[in-house]
């Protein structure tokens, strides 16, 4: 596996993921670069059992949290450790094709406004301010709607996983 081709293919995805975590595009780009440096150093340890994009997202997330601790930046106002990992879990699940299809299938049947808010945030890469403006609401309303949608998806995926375990 050539790191240059991985970089060319996945840099934008990693950058956009980090951009969703960070309020600053410059910080997101810097951490994305650092992510690929770390990936280069540990490329030999990547066994290929997971999707490489999910592996890169994990490195990016950990690098971002390290950056936040180093710079004394608090992510999402003191979320618990489990809640902090939850957004990445949804993103990692989107990286897996089968899981992605299940999530899209669920999104298709999801009630409004949750469906559109989640879609605009994840796929449209809009800020909460922009989403709130589209609906004539506040950015806080958009943020709450997004997190509720994400929670619904997470609960749906837990049910699916439980059903798979029963088989």
Of 6-10, 24-28, 81-85, 122-126, the poorest mean pLDDT is in 81-85
161 shares its domain with 109: yes
| Number of domains observed in the structure of the chain | 2
Return the pLDDT at 83: 43
Would you state the pLDDT for residue 73? 59
Q: Are residues 57 and 100 in the same domain?
A: no
Q: What is the pLDDT of residue 94?
A: 54
For residue 73, tell me if it sits in a domain: yes
> Has residue 16 been placed in a domain?
yes
Q: What is the pLDDT of residues 84-128, one digit of tens each?
A: 444 555 555 555 667 777 777 888 888 888 988 888 888 777 788
| Eight-class DSSP state of 43 | G
Residue where a domain terminates, one of 79, 107, 123? 79
pLDDT for 92: 57
pLDDT at site 84:
44
The verdict on residue 89 lying in a domain is no
Q: What is the pLDDT of residues 118-157, one digit of tens each?
A: 888 887 777 888 888 888 889 899 999 999 999 998 898 8
**What integer pLDDT is reported at residue 50 of this predicted model?**
66
Q: Assess whether 74 and 12 both reside in one domain.
A: yes
Quick one: 41 and 109 in the same domain? no
Q: Does 121 reside within a domain? A: yes
> Which residues constitute the domain of residue 67?
1-79
Q: pLDDT at position 87, please? A: 52
91 in any annotated domain: no
Per-residue confidence (pLDDT) for residue 19, from 0 to 100: 83
Domain assignment present for residue 54? The answer is: yes
136 and 102, same domain (yes or no): yes
Regarding whether 119 and 73 lie in a shared domain, the answer is no
What CATH code is carried by the domain that includes residue 67?
1.10.1740.10
Domain's final residue, options 24, 44, 79: 79
pLDDT in tens, 27-79: 889 999 998 888 888 877 777 766 788 788 888 888 888 888 777 655 443 34
């Amino acid at each position: 596996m050539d790191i240059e081709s991985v970089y060319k293919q996945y840099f934008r995805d990693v950058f956009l993921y980090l951009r969703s975590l960070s309020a600053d595009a410059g910080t997101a780009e810097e951490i994305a670069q650092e992510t690929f440096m770390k990936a280069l150093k540990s490329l030999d340890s990547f066994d290929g059992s997971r999707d490489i994009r999910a592996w890169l997202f994990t490195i990016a997330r950990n690098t971002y949290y390290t950056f936040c601790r180093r710079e004394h930046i608090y992510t999402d106002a003191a979320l618990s450790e489990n809640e902090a990992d939850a957004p990445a879990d949804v993103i990692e699940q989107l990286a897996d094709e089968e899981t992605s299809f299940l999530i899209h299938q669920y999104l298709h049947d999801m009630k409004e406004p949750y469906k559109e808010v989640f879609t605009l945030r994840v796929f449209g890469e809009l800020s909460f301010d922009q989403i709130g403006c589209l609906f004539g609401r506040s950015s806080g309303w958009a943020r709450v709607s997004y997190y509720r949608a994400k929670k619904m998806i997470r609960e749906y995926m837990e049910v699916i996983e439980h059903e798979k375990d029963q088989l």
